């Protein structure tokens, strides 16, 4: 970490209190010591290139300068990554994301090139297409994006309006955007950066619509970068976050592409226009499922960064007096502050755990799919939907909670907390809008409930529904296991209630779809409850499992964090527990005490716990969160870089203010 800098004395004291092996916990968070080493190697390569760090904070640059700066850095980073890849092979996706974060405070305009563009060629291109496009894409001779959403359509894929009409006479597809709402809208890098794009469009052959298919489209001249005739392309303007990702719009006017540009791994169009439907459309779900699983680990990083910034700041900051005659209190000593921050630390670990077992599950299902076995796909899909929804929402809330815990200074862009929130909250909407994906899980849960009623065998993640009807009179246990069991009872109860609401409306004569809509607020809550039980359960099991192999110090502090997470959610949903489990009012009071004790137990290790996330200052981009704790110095240093501070008097004084003051004197 930092060397030869003076560390704030509060942080020195905090670190001296640590009771566990910080490096050991870092390895767990990274997914193993090997991954930590791999990460550090890549990070050091990045840090050795000075031009990858900004001298002037991004927000002081003009709109175009900001964009130009990230293009410059994106290309530099590509070279560093390539060198590393040539030497050591493809890095783990999580390491890649952390590497990106050291260069871009926000996001790279090449994000979708490296992500969706290449992934889709790999997933949906034929071997010939792959061998033609992938080498060019990897060496960035073609730079691409992935264009699915339109101005008028996001969630509802079938509603997309862009058309690709086959012309057998020339063996071409003709692309069109019939209306304003048909314009592609959002793809990263599309605005001014890329020259190719994968387009989702309705395939029309001889007047028949065969639904959405993917097409490789060159949109700009490779020599001049000028958009090709028939293409209208541009950037969509500023957003809450992702400012430097260069999101764009794209419209087609009779734009022709060769037949071989349709991605034909699954369905195909022959020369004469014959359409051959692929063996299984569900295979294309794979990419989406994986992207959603990875959101868990992205969110874990956002929350961990926010927690690191807020905990270190809270160790340095002193405010008010707990006791009249004592010095001002370190704000980390206020229980209310611990209440805001420690749950964020625990949540990062919970998501890393959950991500680990979900990825395993994902690869098992992919293996099955390869053998034509589709049985586990619905369960996996339902799981990723609700976990994506819950983790993104909770994650964004926690980042914001950390920001608010830093008071006014958390509102400063230089704290980086506002930018982290912009990134975290985006995950709530992208790759499956929050409410929409919760309802997808709910659909699965309603089917599972029906199956449970019929006494059928249930998939593992919903097997508790069989128990949910049985174990009603068991004694409440105020233990992690007891709370987890209670949370499963809550989920089962909410699933049952929502099911009954639908039935009630159907019996009253409503269509099933209308009944579904009328029950949808409860359906969402059922999905959330299901997700909550699974998160707590998975995290606890993983913690127990890890504790078998870790040192006592790490096992102990990890155990406190996991207990905190479970007790926190027990208390947050105590109303549901009182409603659906056998918890008593007295048990809730005991839980509150337990929670307060856990905060106190975690307190001495708070700074060491965020140190264990092992973020470099260049990761955090924060005046409040740096390892050395030079909070106030950095706030001032950053402010002094403002262009307004480069001049003693801004021209607006002479132009507007002075003439006005003179005139008002008269």
Q: Given the rule CB under 8 A, which of 169-177, 467-475, 546-554, 576-584 is the region that contacts its own copies? A: 576-584
Q: What SS3 class is residue 7?
A: coil
Residue 140 touching its own copies (CB under 8 A): yes
Residue 139 touching its own copies (CB under 8 A): yes
Nearer to its own copies, 242 or 255 (CB): 242
Size, binding site for its own copies by CB under 8 A: 133
Q: Given the rule CB under 8 A, which of 10-18, 32-40, 139-147, 269-277 is the region that contacts its own copies? A: 139-147
Residue 255 touching its own copies (CB under 8 A): no
Measure the CA–CA gap between 560 and 563, rounded to whole angstroms. 5
Binding its own copies by CB under 8 A: which of 32, 34, 83, 159?
A: 159
CB 572 within 8 A of CB 529: no
Nearer to its own copies, 33 or 637 (CB): 637
Residue 222 touching its own copies (CB under 8 A): yes
Minimum Å gap between C-beta 303 and its own copies is 17
Q: Output 70-75 pairs: Cβ under 8 A, ≥24 positions apart.
A: 70/104, 70/106, 70/108, 70/109, 70/244, 70/246, 71/109, 71/193, 73/103, 73/104, 73/108, 74/108, 74/109, 74/110
Minimum Å gap between C-beta 32 and its own copies is 33
Residue 117, number of CB atoms within 10 A of its CB: 28
Minimum Å gap between C-beta 490 and its own copies is 11
What string marks each residue from 595 to 614 as x (binds its own copies by CB under 8 A) or -?
A: xx--xx--------------
Binding its own copies by CB under 8 A: which of 93, 211, 227, 230?
A: 227
Residues numbered 401-460 forming contacts with its own copies, rule: CB under 8 A: 403-404, 407-408, 410-414, 418, 421, 425-426, 428-430, 433-436, 439
What string marks each residue from 260 to 299 as x (binds its own copies by CB under 8 A) or -?
A: ----------------------------------------
Residues numbered 530-549 forming contacts with its own copies, rule: CB under 8 A: none
C-alpha R_g of the chain? 27
Minimum Å gap between C-beta 108 and its own copies is 13
Binding its own copies by CB under 8 A: which of 6, 9, 128, 333?
A: 333
CB 287 within 8 A of CB 120: yes
In this structure, the strands spanning 248-252 and 231-235 are antiparallel
Q: Given the rule CB under 8 A, which of 42-50, 298-306, 462-470, 594-602 is the region that contacts its own copies? A: 594-602
Measure the CA–CA gap between 233 and 235, rounded to whole angstroms. 7
Residue 334 touching its own copies (CB under 8 A): yes
Measure the CA–CA gap between 428 and 392, rounded to whole angstroms. 5
Residue 497 touching its own copies (CB under 8 A): yes
Instruction: Map tokens 């001889």 to a residue.
Output: 206
* Both tokens assigned to 19: 């009771």
In this structure, the strands spanning 275-276 and 208-218 are unpaired
Measure the CA–CA gap between 492 and 595, rounded to whole angstroms. 25
Nearer to its own copies, 238 or 279 (CB): 238
Nearer to its own copies, 270 or 579 (CB): 579
Instruction: Map tokens 């040539």 to a residue.
Output: 86
Residue 72 touching its own copies (CB under 8 A): yes
Minimum Å gap between C-beta 179 and its own copies is 9
Nearer to its own copies, 418 or 553 (CB): 418
Q: Output 139-144 pairs: Cβ under 8 A, ≥24 positions apart.
A: 140/78, 140/113, 141/222, 142/195, 142/196, 142/218, 142/222, 143/110, 143/113, 143/189, 143/193, 143/194, 143/195, 143/196, 144/112, 144/113, 144/117, 144/118, 144/189, 144/194, 144/195, 144/196, 144/197, 144/198
Residue 382, number of CB atoms within 10 A of its CB: 25
Among residues 122, 132, 171, 431, the one annotated as catalytic is: 431
Q: Given the rule CB under 8 A, which of 112-120, 218-226, 261-269, 605-613 is the region that contacts its own copies? A: 218-226
- Give bridge partners of residue 201 from the DSSP assignment: 213
Residue 154 touching its own copies (CB under 8 A): yes
Residue 642 touching its own copies (CB under 8 A): yes
Residue 528 touching its own copies (CB under 8 A): no
Backbone angle region of 551, left / alpha / beta, with phi > 0 → left and psi within -120 to 50 → alpha: beta
Nearer to its own copies, 195 or 294 (CB): 195
Q: Given the rule CB under 8 A, which of 98-106, 238-246, 348-356, 606-614 is the region that contacts its own copies? A: 238-246
Minimum Å gap between C-beta 475 and its own copies is 19
Measure the CA–CA gap between 637 and 664, rounded to whole angstroms. 38
What string marks each residue from 292 to 331 as x (binds its own copies by CB under 8 A) or -?
A: ---------------------------xxxxx----x---
Minimum Å gap between C-beta 581 and its own copies is 11
Residue 68 touching its own copies (CB under 8 A): yes
Nearer to its own copies, 461 or 573 (CB): 573
Residue 664 touching its own copies (CB under 8 A): yes
In this structure, the strands spanning 268-269 and 275-276 are antiparallel
Q: Given the rule CB under 8 A, which of 10-18, 201-209, 345-353, 520-528 is the region that contacts its own copies? A: 520-528
Minimum Å gap between C-beta 31 and its own copies is 31
Q: In Å, what is the CA distance from 474 to each residue of 423, 477, 480, 488, 587?
A: 44, 9, 16, 13, 14
Q: What is the 3-state secondary structure (H, E, C) of 501-541?
A: HHHHHHHCCCCHHHHHHHCHHHHHHHHHHHHHHHHHHHHHH
Nearer to its own copies, 142 or 448 (CB): 142
Measure the CA–CA gap between 625 and 406, rounded to whole angstroms. 10
In this structure, the strands spanning 275-276 and 231-235 are unpaired
Measure the CA–CA gap between 634 and 630, rounded to whole angstroms. 6
DSSP states of 156-179: -GGG---EEEEETTTTEEEEE--S
205, 207, 213, 217: CA torsion to nearest 10: 70
Residue 521 touching its own copies (CB under 8 A): yes
Nearer to its own copies, 21 or 650 (CB): 650
Minimum Å gap between C-beta 170 and its own copies is 28
Residue 636 touching its own copies (CB under 8 A): yes
Binding its own copies by CB under 8 A: which of 26, 314, 574, 626?
A: 574
Element spanning 68, H or E: helix 63-88
Nearer to its own copies, 537 or 587 (CB): 587
Residue 431 is a catalytic residue: yes
- Give bridge partners of residue 248 from the DSSP assignment: 235
Residues numbered 47-66 forming contacts with its own copies, rule: CB under 8 A: 57, 59-60, 62-64
Residue 643 touching its own copies (CB under 8 A): yes
Residues numbered 75-114 forming contacts with its own copies, rule: CB under 8 A: 75, 78
Q: Which residue numbers are catalytic? A: 431
């Amino acid at each position: 970490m930092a060397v030869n800098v003076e560390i704030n004395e509060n942080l020195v004291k905090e670190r001296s209190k640590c009771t566990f092996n910080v490096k050991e916990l870092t390895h767990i968070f990274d997914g193993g010591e090997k991954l930590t080493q791999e990460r550090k190697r890549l990070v050091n390569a990045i840090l050795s290139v000075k031009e990858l760090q900004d001298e002037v904070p991004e927000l002081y640059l003009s709109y175009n300068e900001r964009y130009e700066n990230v293009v410059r850095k994106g290309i530099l980073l590509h070279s560093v990554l390539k060198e590393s890849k040539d030497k050591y092979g493809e890095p783990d996706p999580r390491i890649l994301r952390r590497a990106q974060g050291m260069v871009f405070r926000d996001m790279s305009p090449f994000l979708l090139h490296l992500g969706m563009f290449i992934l889709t060629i790999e997933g949906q291109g034929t071997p010939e297409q792959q061998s033609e496009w992938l080498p060019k894409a990897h060496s960035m001779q073609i730079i691409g994006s992935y264009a699915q959403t339109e101005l008028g359509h996001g969630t509802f894929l079938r509603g997309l309006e862009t058309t690709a009409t086959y012309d057998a006479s020339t063996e071409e597809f003709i692309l069109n955007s019939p209306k304003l709402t048909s314009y592609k809208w959002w793809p990263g890098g599309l605005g001014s950066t890329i020259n190719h794009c994968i387009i989702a469009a309705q395939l029309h052959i001889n007047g028949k619509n065969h639904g959405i298919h993917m097409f490789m489209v060159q949109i700009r001249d490779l020599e001049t970068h000028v958009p090709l005739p028939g293409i209208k392309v541009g950037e969509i303007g500023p957003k809450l976050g992702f400012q430097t990702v260069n999101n764009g719009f794209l419209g087609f006017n009779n734009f022709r592409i060769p037949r071989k540009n349709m991605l034909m791994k699954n369905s195909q169009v022959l020369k004469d226009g014959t359409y051959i439907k692929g063996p299984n459309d569900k295979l294309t779900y794979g990419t989406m499922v994986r992207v959603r699983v990875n959101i868990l680990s992205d969110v874990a990083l956002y929350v961990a960064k926010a927690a690191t910034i807020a905990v270190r700041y809270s160790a340095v900051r002193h405010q008010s007096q707990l006791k009249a005659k004592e010095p001002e209190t370190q704000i980390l000593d206020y229980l209310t502050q611990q209440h805001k921050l420690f749950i964020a630390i625990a949540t990062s670990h919970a998501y890393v755990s959950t991500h680990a077992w979900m990825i395993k599950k994902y690869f098992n299902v992919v293996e099955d799919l390869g053998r034509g076995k589709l049985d586990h796909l619905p369960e996996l899909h339902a799981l990723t939907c609700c976990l994506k929804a819950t983790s993104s929402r909770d994650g964004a809330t926690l980042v914001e909670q950390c920001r608010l815990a830093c008071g006014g200074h958390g509102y400063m862009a230089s704290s980086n907390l506002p930018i982290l929130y912009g990134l975290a909250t985006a995950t709530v909407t992208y790759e499956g809008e929050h409410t929409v994906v919760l309802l997808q899980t709910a659909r699965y849960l309603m089917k599972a409930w029906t199956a449970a009623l019929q006494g059928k065998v249930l998939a593992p993640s919903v097997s508790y529904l069989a128990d949910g009807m049985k174990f009603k009179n068991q004694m409440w246990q105020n233990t992690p296991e007891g709370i987890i069991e209670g949370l499963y009872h809550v989920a089962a109860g909410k699933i049952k209630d929502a099911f009954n609401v639908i039935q009630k409306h159907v019996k009253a004569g409503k269509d099933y779809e209308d009944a579904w809509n009328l029950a949808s607020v409860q359906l969402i809550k059922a999905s959330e409850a299901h997700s909550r039980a699974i998160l707590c359960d998975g995290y606890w099991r993983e913690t127990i499992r890890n504790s078998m192999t870790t040192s006592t110090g790490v096992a102990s502090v990890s155990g406190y964090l996991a207990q905190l997470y479970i007790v926190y959610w027990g208390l947050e949903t105590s109303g549901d527990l009182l409603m659906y489990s056998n918890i008593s009012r007295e048990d809730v009071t005991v839980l509150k005490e337990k929670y307060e004790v856990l905060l106190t137990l975690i307190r001495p290790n708070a700074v060491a716990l965020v140190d264990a996330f092992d973020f470099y200052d260049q990761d955090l981009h924060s005046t409040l969160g740096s390892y050395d704790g030079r909070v106030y110095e950095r706030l001032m240093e950053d402010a002094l870089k403002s262009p307004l501070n480069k001049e003693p008097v801004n021209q607006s004084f002479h132009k507007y203010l002075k003439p006005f003051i003179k005139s008002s004197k008269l």
